[in-house]
Chain A
């Protein structure tokens, strides 16, 4: 068993790694967060649900979210864990309680909280096993998404993608097992993630072409659909995606081509963007403009945004691990996955 000191060290370590950008990418972040929260739940001693919720939400969750507000997946996972705890307690008090099923839910929770530490003892392992299930689900997100590949990619299609996304990569590779199609990859300056993506795809035997970012609009007329990944999906259906994605989506809109976004549900955030910058991250301007140009860097302002905001009007379809959904449907997914009390951590 882990003592509280070990747990603190683990929390601190994840906070630091998030802050220092040592764990990056929504998926890694979610897994790490979920594992840590499982530890927290199993190590916390509680009699009242509020205590547990407070620990998860305020003591740990808030610290993790504050450590790296740009990684929205941290907040998503914390919200989901909270939802899970609340739900478990509710069902537990309905069926596992003393048969007073006519009471309202909230009073049930109170009943459990009020008097019986026994209830807490019995609920705790259930919550932990549910958490484990969630982690398993996270690990299998890709499988559920790529199973749908055949429905979306047809023979002899030309597909455009941007940046490097593991989901999209596996999605295309799965489709390539049975269908023959070609992929255009925008090189995605300044990270050139497109190069890596193209290399990986061509190694899998897919007919791949790298195009420069300036050629996106020109070739869009020949493209059948755009498939891309994303860093996060916001509550309105907008995307926080690799910089350059906005241009691709706009070009696709102009040519009336569908934009399909492959994403796990863990990337769906209950937060709304209030302006285009709100969840963006500006990284070092080095790749755009060399630091060696000493005389100039004093006189110009250099911005190197890592992400783009893609508004929901530009997205046609989300392919998630629970199936395909249009952007307008996301509000329901949010209601299903997150408790309204927890959106503001």
Chain B
């Protein structure tokens, strides 16, 4: 592009307002049963709805227009936004909510966006549950700088450096990124589930040709903040099967040769960025906020209006109007909302307590997230669990780790909840549909489990897809609330989770690989000949046969050379030896072009000649076929004279009598070619 038009383009970009697309729906069910009542982006993290963190991040970056995509609970979100400070007349951000009830994935939302034609410049694509103090302006500038260097750059993904087993890195959901060391171009992106453990990763060899220096990184937190160019929604529309932004879109763009687009990563180191993907990260990010990694987005900067948090020594945050009894003890990392009353001998550590909570005497709370208006009566213990709004715990209830009590659940008295119990007031509709009997039974609450006054049903995570096996449920468990990293390492004791393991397995597979490769090649040849025989039998057109062969080649990851090695002998095998010349003529007339389809350059032609020569040299009964085949292929324009001459002039190994005898057979033909060429050049003169 000439410089003047470039500068004018830049001016235009600067003038147009900065837009952001917020996905307020997560398109998964990680937070069930809580998300039955509230959308995920309104769940409180440290007593502030998650969306506030995201909007704050965008506001700091100077975003002027936000398109908020909602699916479930869209009315709740709309009302929330309407009442919030963001919709005041002098708010610098304009929020437009777009309800897409039929959208099933990120892809659908972006296709909707493309259909509405709302985006006119680079925009920020962010999910509504991101907590970050990153300076997006800098990322945007970096994105624009990259675009001016590489016009194919369409997206910049923000990733934060962490460590492979970092608590904030959602295990089993963080992809492995392969980056160009110099430019941070993302050349490969591989999703990794914890179960089944991935032991191998396949990458296109082209990557190593293009990039001299790549790094494979398994220590990055994918923050789900992307800077996208205008083309991105359009690409989603073109590829209507793209669902997930990482698994489908990024993977699709990177593997596609046709599009030629590039995607970059923006590594951030000393700022914070993470996404609440599941209960595990909810816990981790809450802790990060309380330990001030997200500064200045900390409770005492009072994101919401009317908040009045103050910081006290020992990472204790307290709002005004909290009444603490004289004998209660607050440990480290505790946040207490306004209007909460805490009685005698209460011990609280590592917890978030919402607003207007009453906690009775002798209660012990550790690592729990207690939301608004919860009532906890005397002698209860709560460990590493979530109690949603309006939960009531009667006397002597023990909630063990990993429990999730959804809205309005009542427990007790004198009950112990086993680890990882999930309770809700909603009955599971699908179950009651299937078994009418049970729904009647369920009307009464299970008092042995949740106590005499208890109200609530057990919620079991149903796996939505029928083909999900036990591995996936394991993955879901890890995403749960109180799963320690140490637990996870213990559970897969069969494979130590270290880098050393990876490298040793590589060494092993190196020796093993070659044999398997040979085997797979043999398998491939077999398939090629089978495909061709089907084609001969059914009389397929050359195009169809070549398409089939190409698919086969891609599926088994082999080269055109391998394909030719497979195809040529099979075609020659069709020729009837008894009736040599006419048969060869017929067969090659029909299938010669197929060989032509597999040839793309001079080098390929010479390679073909060698294959032909080697084949005819080894298979004695095909030796006679060589000359007519060559001639026919020449006539069909599959091979040109330059290639044949070059092949002929190349040296042969001395003692290879059979090959030299084959060459002799074509000597007259070659001679004729040479003469023809001389004549050609003569006439040119």
A286 at the interface (CB under 8 A from B): yes
Q: Which B residues touch A333, using CB under 8 A?
A: none
| Cβ proximity bits A1-34 to B, threshold 8 Å, 1 near / 0 not | 0000110110011001001111000000000000
Looking at A283, A291, A304, the one whose CB has the most chain B CB atoms below 10 A away is: A291
- Interface SS majority for chain B: loop
Selecting from B198-206, B286-294, B666-674, the interface stretch reads: B286-294
- In the assembled complex, the CB of A65 is this many whole angstroms from the nearest CB of chain B, namely 12
Q: Which A residues touch B302, using CB under 8 A?
A: 19, 66
* B168 & A5 in contact (Cβ 8 Å cutoff): no
* A282 & B311 in contact (Cβ 8 Å cutoff): yes
* B163 & A292 in contact (Cβ 8 Å cutoff): yes
Q: Which residue of A lies closest to B163 (CB)?
A: A294
User: Could you count the A-B residue pairs with CB atoms below 8 Å apart for me: how many are there?
Assistant: 81
Interchain CB contact (< 8 A) of A291 among B59, B91, B293: B293
| Cβ proximity bits A28-71 to B, threshold 8 Å, 1 near / 0 not | 00000000000000000000000000000000000000101000
B90 at the interface (CB under 8 A from A): yes
Q: Which B residues touch A8, using CB under 8 A?
A: 90
A273 at the interface (CB under 8 A from B): no
- In the assembled complex, the CB of A18 is this many whole angstroms from the nearest CB of chain B, namely 10
B272 at the interface (CB under 8 A from A): yes
Q: Which B residues touch A285, using CB under 8 A?
A: 291-293
Q: Which B residues touch A97, using CB under 8 A?
A: none
A345 at the interface (CB under 8 A from B): no
* B92 & A13 in contact (Cβ 8 Å cutoff): yes
Q: Which residue of A lies closest to B91 (CB)?
A: A12
* B292 & A282 in contact (Cβ 8 Å cutoff): yes
Q: Which A residues touch B163, using CB under 8 A?
A: 292-295
Q: How large is the interface on A (under 10, 10 to 19, 20 to 34, 35 or more residues)?
A: 20 to 34
Q: Which B residues touch A5, using CB under 8 A?
A: 89-90
* B162 & A292 in contact (Cβ 8 Å cutoff): yes
CA–CA, A22 and B56, complex, Å: 13
| Cβ proximity bits B156-194 to A, threshold 8 Å, 1 near / 0 not | 000011110111110000000000000000000000000
- In the assembled complex, the CB of B321 is this many whole angstroms from the nearest CB of chain A, namely 15
B315 at the interface (CB under 8 A from A): yes
Q: Which residue of A lies closest to B295 (CB)?
A: A284
CA–CA, A8 and B92, complex, Å: 12
Q: Which A residues touch B162, using CB under 8 A?
A: 291-292, 294
Say yes or no: A16-B59 contact (C-beta < 8 A), given A292-B219, A295-B165.
Answer: yes
CA–CA, A12 and B87, complex, Å: 13
CA–CA, A287 and B292, complex, Å: 12
Say yes or no: A292-B166 contact (C-beta < 8 A), given A16-B59, A287-B270.
Answer: yes
A297 at the interface (CB under 8 A from B): yes
- In the assembled complex, the CB of B538 is this many whole angstroms from the nearest CB of chain A, namely 59
Q: Which A residues touch B59, using CB under 8 A?
A: 16
Which residues 284-324 of B have a CB within 8 angstroms of A?
287, 291-296, 301-302, 308, 311-315
Q: Which B residues touch A21, using CB under 8 A?
A: 296, 301
| Cβ proximity bits A60-101 to B, threshold 8 Å, 1 near / 0 not | 000000101000000000000000000000000000000000
* A283 & B291 in contact (Cβ 8 Å cutoff): no
Q: Which A residues touch B313, using CB under 8 A?
A: 277
Interchain CB contact (< 8 A) of B296 among A20, A293, A294: A20
B332 at the interface (CB under 8 A from A): yes
A126 at the interface (CB under 8 A from B): no
- In the assembled complex, the CB of A70 is this many whole angstroms from the nearest CB of chain B, namely 9
Of the A-B pairs whose beta carbons lie under 8 Å apart in the complex, a sample of 6, sorted by A's number, is A9-B90, A12-B90, A284-B292, A286-B271, A292-B161, A302-B291
In the complex, given contacts A16-B59, A19-B301, A297-B167, what are 17 additional A-B residue pairs having Cβ atoms less than 8 angstroms apart?
A5-B89, A12-B88, A12-B90, A19-B296, A19-B302, A21-B296, A66-B302, A284-B272, A285-B293, A291-B160, A291-B272, A292-B166, A293-B163, A294-B165, A298-B167, A301-B314, A304-B292
Q: Measuring CB to CB, which residues of chain A are less than 8 angstroms from any residue of chain B?
A: 5-6, 8-9, 12-13, 16, 19-22, 66, 68, 277, 282-287, 291-295, 297-298, 301-302, 304
7 closest Cβ pairs, A-B complex: A294-B166, A9-B90, A284-B295, A294-B163, A21-B296, A283-B295, A286-B270
